[in-house]
Amino acid sequence: MTRLLEIAIEAARQLEPAEQDELARAIMQIVNGGDEGVYVLSDEERAAVEVGRQQAARGEFATEEEIEALFEKYAQ
């Protein structure tokens, strides 16, 4: 195991159990090449998807300016 992976695992130990499970699923997907089967959404993820579907049904979409602001915020 590399030192970087050891540091990451130690940091993961500090996460809440639900966050640890989410991280574990992501790691397993990477290790298994994404062939582990169907991803099961959490209740929070399912609720967020439903909110997005309702917004789309109402025609509520982000403006070009809002999208550009997000790119600027996270591109750093």
Mean pLDDT of 21-47: 81
Mean pLDDT of 9-13: 93
Chain length of the chain: 76
pLDDT the model gives residue 37: 65
66 to each of 20, 34, 44, how far by Cα in Å? 32, 32, 24
pLDDT grade for 38, boundaries at 50, 70 and 90: low
**Contact between residue 49 and residue 41 where contact means Cβ atoms under 8 Å apart:** yes
Q: Write phi, then psi, for 61 (nearest 5 degrees).
A: -125, 155
Q: Write phi, then psi, for 35 (nearest 5 degrees).
A: -100, 25
Mean pLDDT of 40-63: 92
Identity of residue 36: E
pLDDT grade for 28, boundaries at 50, 70 and 90: confident
